[in-house]
Structure 1
Amino acid sequence: MTAHTTPPYLRIAAEIRRRIVDGELAPGDRVPSTRRIAEEWGVALATATKALTALRQEGLVRAQERVGTVVAGPPRRAAPARPRTAAAPERELTRERIVRTAIEIADAEGLAALSMRGVAARLGAATMSPYRYVNSKDDLVLLMADTVLGQLPRPSRAPAAWRARLELGARSLWAVHRAHPWLAQIGPLTRPLMLPNLMTYSELMLSGLDGHGLDPTTMLNLNVLLYSHVQGLAVQLEREAQAQSVTGLSEDEWMDTQTSALAALTASGDYPTFTRVITAITETGYDLHLDELFEIGLTSMLDGMAVLIEGRRAKAP
């Protein structure tokens, strides 16, 4: 094939392969993400994913959790391996393997990089094989969500005290979102996912709120409030990963580019309280830590719930 007829994904794979061969990318180095490839080469995310999949099949790159796709090692110059028969990988496929592989891809590269084709390639199976076990990508994402939510504690193993039970549930949910940032992207709060393990989480939280004089509407609202606190912060995990991938700048590096804009705002005199606060932390600096925000929000909400519960108890006959 000529350069003009070679599929875009093969041209991209060839360029990244060259960087590895020439030593520009060493083993363990992060290779361009699907988002960066899409931006740099002007292609769709699906094309970018296909390029990385081709490199994975060669053994040149691998997915590393919470890092992305990295160089696996020096390129293999041996003769190509004998092609597999179509039947071999088919016998090895299961729904569980498909879901587990999809979770690995989403954890490493984000939900946008996930495709049924990419899952099949990672498993060394025919492109359409996963559809024998999962109807669609949407169904796959739901299975992924239910699987990772299965890590949450069961009501039977939770503390009896209402506050300790809610703390356990909220912190466990935050830990799951921390490990799987894509989870916060898959459904709006107003359209809850009817997943068994998400219902198990709600059972845990509602059982903690039960028996304290709260009406059903209040119980549901408080459960949603705690869930939205976790989800709202967790959304930022994936957004930061996307921003870093697109700009190539870390959070601190990006803030450094905003110095002049910040100086102009504080010098304007229009925001005296903001200016006073920023000036006060000039020496120590300010780092926004999502874990700290989670704890502050959780404590504040539980304190408010304690007031509400105690007030209902006081009114009880």
Structure 2
Amino acid sequence: MASKVRAVLSLSLIVETAIAVADEGGLEAVTMRGVGQRLNATGMALYRHVANREALIELMIDQVVEEFAYPADRPGHWREALRATARQDWRSYLAHPWMPAATATAKPPMGPNMLAAMEWSLAIFDGFGLSAAEKLYLLGVVNSYGQGLALSWVHGLPSRGEDREGAAEWWLANLPGEGDAGTGPRYPRLLEVTRSLGMSPASESYTEDEFEFGLQRVLDGIEVYLDRRG
């Protein structure tokens, strides 16, 4: 019986494989042993390239940040620049559903790509006379919005998330019915919203529509704040 061919281990291959494992099974599926098995290698062999699981996850995050890097040429207007950061982050969350939870921390991994992304983002507010705290808080508003929405869509769902039509069917199946004879539905507004969105021709793009709508409202709020600051 022919033995399996072992891949020549390298740090880049280990990180790439770990990302694939996380995309399929979530971050909890990423173990040194599991990644090693995917590569037909022992978990101990991986330690020659990466210190431990925590270090591997940091490298995974930094690789995804590079994959969805912000534009090399930053848009001149702060609103377009913030929109660019939010959209790239959102795309990374949908492509890698483990990313929102992995990055929702006050102590993010300090990889070179992550540091470059944070520096890029902070530069958006140059010239506004804002304090360092104000810059950080405004970025936090945008980042938290995208992370929170992404978590509501990808948490506990398959690797690529659940489609909007499936979610609408779930709501319709679980909402109480029309009520007793002669009475209206117990929750008419919920039924109206669920039915409307479930039957909408744009239902397949619902997550994108929801993200874009909310993002514009977040940016509207930041614009009011900046205008008041003068």
TM bucket by the smaller chain?
A: 0.7 to 0.9
Distance 2:153 2:119 in 1: 26
Counterpart for residue 117 of structure 1: 33
Q: Do residues 304 (structure 1) and 221 (structure 2) align?
A: yes
Distance 2:197 2:16 in 1: 43
> Counterpart of 2:141 in structure 1: which amino acid?
L
Q: Following TM superposition, by how much is the alpha carbon of 1:120 offset from its aligned partner in structure 2, in angstroms?
A: 1.0
* Cα gap change, 1:152 to 1:211, in 2 (>3 Å): farther
Counterpart for residue 225 of structure 1: 141
Runs of 4+ in 1 over 3 A off after TM superposition: 152-156, 187-193, 242-245, 250-257, 266-269, 279-288
**TM-score, scaled relative to structure 2:** 0.81
**TM-score, scaled relative to structure 1:** 0.60
Counterpart for residue 13 of structure 2: 97
Per-residue CA distance 1:233-256 (angstroms, 9 max, x = gap): 2213431415999xxxx5355335
Query: 1:159 touches 1:165 (CA, 8 Å); kept in 2?
Result: yes
Per-residue CA distance 1:123-182 (angstroms, 9 max, x = gap): 121332111111211211111001110124357521122111111111111111111110
Percent same amino acid at aligned positions?
Answer: 32
Look up the SS of the partner of 1:81 in the other structure: coil
Look up the SS of the partner of 1:203 in the other structure: helix
* Cα gap change, 1:239 to 1:262, in 2 (>3 Å): farther
Q: Do residues 275 (structure 1) and 211 (structure 2) align?
A: no
Query: 2:96 touches 2:159 (CA, 8 Å); kept in 1?
Result: no
Distance 2:4 2:159 in 1: 39
Aligned length: 220
Query: 1:244 touches 1:251 (CA, 8 Å); kept in 2?
Result: no
For structure 2, the 5+ residue unaligned runs are none
Counterpart for residue 79 of structure 2: 163
Query: 1:169 touches 1:204 (CA, 8 Å); kept in 2?
Result: no
Counterpart for residue 2 of structure 2: 81
For structure 1, the 5+ residue unaligned runs are 1-79
Look up the SS of the partner of 1:228 in the other structure: helix
Distance 1:256 1:225 in 2: 32
Counterpart for residue 290 of structure 1: 207
Counterpart for residue 58 of structure 2: 142
* Cα gap change, 1:150 to 1:83, in 2 (>3 Å): closer
Relative contact order, higher structure (CA 8 A, sep 6+):
2
Quick check: which has more Rg, 1 or 2?
Answer: 1
Distance 1:244 1:170 in 2: 19
Query: 2:15 touches 2:56 (CA, 8 Å); kept in 1?
Result: yes
Q: Following TM superposition, by how much is the alpha carbon of 1:279 offset from its aligned partner in structure 2, in angstroms?
A: 3.7
